[in-house]
């Protein structure tokens, strides 16, 4: 799909966007990091924006969540842990940084739908799952919308914090966080 030179350019571009954002990343920066002459960039891609479009077509830079990836058994804790694992395996701090770095007026139309689709998909999965669990009388609430949004926020918030502050806000690692947040989510915290 892309040759060696193109891949060097793609990788250089995305790693710079993670660090500085799209607008602040110049084609000179990209050329330097890709160890390529600047004019080569424009021989390989129509323009700066085209590099982003090309990169977004690769799964490496575009975490596409699919509903089929989320499987469940009927055990609330087990299922929600598994959901979180799938979500957090795709929505990594790196991906969050990219989606933040891509926030630019002239990329908005290009990226908006793709970015929104990720929480949309996860929420859809959660709503469907909670409805099913409710039918099986495994839930003590009928406010499924809130449940889904809260669980989604709990997961996204964690990865956002990791992306923004590394381990400075909390040293909890993904696996421990999933286990305990899901356990608390299901069992509650009060006695």
Partner DNA sequence: TTATGGTGCAAGTAACCACTTGCAAGGATG
Partner DNA sequence: CATCCTTGCAAGTGGTTACTTGCACCATAA
Residues in contact with its own copies by CB under 8 A are 19-21, 23-24, 76-77, 100, 103-106, 115-116, 119-120, 123, 137-141, 143, 145-147, 149-150, 152-158, 160-161, 164-165, 168-170, 172, 176-177, 180-181, 183-191
Residue 132 touches which of its own copies, DNA, none (Cβ within 5-8 Å per kind):
none
Tokens of 76: 């609330």
Minimum distance, C-beta of residue 90 to DNA, in the bound complex (Å): 29
Residue 180 touches which of its own copies, DNA, none (Cβ within 5-8 Å per kind):
its own copies
Contacts to DNA by CB under 7 A: 3-5, 25-28, 35-40, 42-44, 47-49
d(CA 72, CA 79): 5
Minimum distance, C-beta of residue 5 to its own copies, in the bound complex (Å): 26
Minimum distance, C-beta of residue 106 to DNA, in the bound complex (Å): 10
Name 179's Cβ contacts closer than 8 Å, sequence gap at least 6: 81
Distance, C-alpha 37 to centroid of its chain? 32
Closest by alpha carbon to 123, among 89, 148, 94?
148
* Inter-residue contact 86 to 69 (CB < 8 Å): yes
Residue 137 touches which of DNA, its own copies, none (Cβ within 5-8 Å per kind):
its own copies
d(CA 103, CA 122): 21
d(CA 61, CA 54): 10
């Amino acid at each position: 799909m892309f040759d060696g030179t193109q891949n060097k350019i793609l990788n250089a571009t995305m790693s710079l966007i993670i660090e500085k954002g799209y607008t602040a990343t110049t084609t000179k920066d990209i050329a330097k990091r890709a160890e390529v002459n600047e004019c080569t960039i424009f021989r390989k891609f129509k323009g700066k924006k085209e590099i982003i479009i090309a990169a977004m077509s690769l799964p490496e830079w575009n975490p596409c969540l699919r509903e089929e990836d989320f499987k469940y058994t009927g055990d609330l804790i087990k299922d929600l842990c598994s959901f979180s694992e799938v979500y957090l395996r795709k929505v990594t701090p790196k991906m969050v940084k990219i989606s933040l770095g891509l926030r630019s007026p002239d990329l908005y139309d290009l990226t908006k739908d793709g970015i929104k689709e990720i929480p949309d998909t996860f929420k859809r999965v959660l709503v469907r799952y909670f409805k099913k669990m409710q039918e099986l009388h495994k839930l003590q609430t009928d406010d499924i919308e809130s449940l889904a949004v809260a669980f989604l926020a709990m997961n996204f918030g964690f990865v956002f914090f990791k992306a923004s502050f590394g381990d400075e806000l909390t040293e909890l690692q993904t696996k421990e966080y999933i286990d305990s947040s899901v356990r608390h989510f299901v069992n509650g915290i009060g006695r």
